């Protein structure tokens, strides 16, 4: 079968969560193509997948930079109640992805009608996939990137925003996906998430060379500080530098800071005792770590979780607050969400030290790891997709 894969516009990192399933589809003999704007191309090619450029994210460039970078986390996000913050942010994402769908569905449709996919596989926030699958008459399946707080606010906003477009296409309403693939362990997943088909999370953090130092024991606790690929360009270096200042004061700790090349330049010089790595996939060295400090991105978070590592989350925006809250509720780490607490270097240091020293956090993280490892592998989900397409073909 032919599978058209659609990541969300302006979120190339969400494609990383889809890569293991894409590989499983290719290994089963299926043809696959990733479609999206130019910012998706590099990530797609690094995964060894084919790409077709469709649409453009230029309209939204700079849209995320709604406040000066040194005020992150923005007060209107950090200081809201959890439920209200999730609603506002998920409606914002629904608006942006709906606008992208209205702008570019015709481009996707022209290509898809020529290429003729049997299945549309999309990130759960890539709303454009749903009317596309509806107008093509092929099943659409969505794939979560991690903790998914989209909930009813996201669904209703998308239905309302895309109602006129669906009417023009002859669709009674915005189609729902046939089912949702969920690589997030159940005890970590957001409480409002519609149940999906479980799949084992397998980390893909890009290509890289295994570092020799990862083979040797440090003789000290090892901490990895990783802000992810997208946050430093938006939030600036301040969250990273605060975490560095706090970690620098903890004795008998070896810290590795994982950055992109561009982010390393923005962050600037770090203490000589810190190891800084560029573009090094986390899955190559996290096995020797004891703690991961992150901003709450799903890729970094689930990779750490798959290794059974406790975490301290410094959320800045969007779903990161929900991710941090769920890690804390699972007993697998701490979340420090307020601006005041993130600016308190001594308080951060105490939080890092407490998670390193308390074996209860490691036990909680290992419970989540066990949930991940007990989920069906991507090959089992491929079999479900094959059955879905066969049934759809017979019905047609």
Q: Which residues lie below 8 Å from residue 87, measured CB to CB, with a gap of 6+?
A: 151, 153
3-class secondary-structure state, position 197: strand
- Tens digit of pLDDT at every position of the chain (396 positions): 999 999 998 788 899 999 999 999 999 999 999 999 999 999 999 999 999 999 998 776 655 544 455 666 766 566 667 667 777 888 888 999 999 999 999 999 999 999 999 999 999 999 999 999 999 999 999 999 999 999 888 999 999 999 999 999 999 999 999 999 999 999 999 999 999 999 999 999 999 999 999 988 768 999 999 999 888 887 889 999 999 999 998 999 999 999 999 999 999 999 999 999 999 999 999 999 999 999 989 999 999 999 999 999 999 888 899 999 999 999 999 999 988 999 999 999 999 999 999 999 999 999 999 999 999 999 999 999 999 999 998 876
- What is the DSSP code string of 211-223? -GGGGS--SSEEE
**Residue 254 parent element (H or E):** strand 253-259
Whole-prediction pTM value?
A: 0.93
Domain range 212-374, its CATH number among 3.40.50.2000, 1.20.810.10, 3.40.190.10, 3.20.20.70? 3.40.50.2000
Compute the distance between CA of residue 387 and CA of residue 180 in angstroms, rounded to an integer: 15
Query: Alpha carbon of 133 to those of 82, 231, 364, 386: distances in Å?
Result: 33, 32, 40, 16
pLDDT at 92: 87
pLDDT at 66: 47
Tally the residues of the chain. 396
> Partners of 202 in the beta sheet?
none
Residue 126's nearest CA partner among 240, 12, 274, 261 is 12
Q: May I ask the CATH class of domain 2-201+376-395?
A: alpha beta
Compute the distance between CA of residue 100 and CA of residue 149 in angstroms, rounded to an integer: 21
Q: Is the dihedral of CA 271, 272, 274, 277 positive or negative?
A: positive
Compute the distance between CA of residue 371 and CA of residue 378 in angstroms, rounded to an integer: 15
Compute the distance between CA of residue 62 and CA of residue 41 in angstroms, rounded to an integer: 19
Q: Is the dihedral of CA 92, 236, 336, 301 positive or negative?
A: positive
> What stretch(es) of the chain map to CATH 3.40.50.2000?
2-201+376-395, 212-374
Residue 275's nearest CA partner among 320, 324, 335, 220 is 220
**Residue 26 parent element (H or E):** helix 13-27
- 139 φ/ψ sector (left φ>0, alpha ψ -120 to 50, else beta): beta
Q: What residue has token string 């005890």?
A: 187
């Amino acid at each position: 079968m032919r599978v058209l894969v659609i990541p969300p516009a302006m979120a190339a990192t969400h494609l990383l969560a889809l890569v293991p399933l894409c590989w499983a589809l290719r290994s089963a003999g299926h043809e696959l193509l990733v479609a999206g704007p130019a910012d998706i191309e590099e990530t797609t090619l690094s995964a060894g997948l084919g790409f077709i450029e469709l649409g453009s994210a230029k309209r939204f460039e700079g849209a995320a930079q709604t406040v000066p970078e040194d005020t992150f986390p923005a007060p209107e996000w950090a200081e809201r109640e959890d439920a209200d913050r999730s609603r506002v942010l998920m409606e914002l994402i629904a608006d942006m992805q709906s606008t992208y769908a209205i702008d570019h569905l015709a481009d996707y449709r022209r290509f898809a009608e020529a290429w003729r996919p049997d299945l549309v596989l999309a990130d759960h926030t890539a709303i454009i996939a749903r009317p596309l699958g509806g107008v093509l008459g092929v099943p659409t399946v969505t794939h979560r990137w991690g903790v998914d707080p989209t909930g009813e606010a996201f669904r209703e906003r998308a239905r309302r925003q895309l109602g006129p477009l669906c009417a023009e296409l002859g669709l009674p309403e915005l189609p729902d996906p046939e089912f949702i693939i969920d690589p997030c362990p159940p005890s970590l997943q957001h409480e409002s998430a519609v149940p999906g088909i479980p799949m084992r999370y397998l980390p893909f953090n890009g290509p890289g060379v295994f570092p020799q130092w990862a083979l040797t024991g440090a003789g000290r606790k090892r901490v990895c500080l990783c802000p992810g690929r997208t946050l430093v360009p938006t939030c600036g270096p301040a969250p990273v530098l605060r975490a560095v200042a706090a970690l620098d004061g903890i004795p008998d700790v070896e810290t590795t800071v994982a950055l992109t090349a561009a982010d390393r330049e923005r962050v600037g010089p770090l203490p000589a005792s810190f190891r800084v790595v560029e573009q090094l996939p986390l899955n190559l060295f996290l096995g020797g770590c004891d703690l991961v400090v992150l901003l709450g991105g799903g890729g970094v978070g689930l990779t750490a979780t798959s290794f059974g590592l406790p975490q301290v989350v410094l959320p800045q925006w969007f779903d990161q607050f929900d991710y941090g809250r769920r890690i804390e509720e699972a007993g697998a780490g701490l979340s420090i969400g307020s601006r005041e607490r993130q600016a308190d270097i001594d308080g951060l240091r105490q939080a890092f030290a407490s998670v390193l020293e308390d074996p209860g956090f490691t036990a909680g993280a290992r419970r989540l790891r066990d949930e991940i490892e007990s989920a069906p592998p991507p090959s089992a989900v491929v079999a479900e997709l094959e059955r879905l397409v066969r049934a759809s073909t017979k019905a047609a």
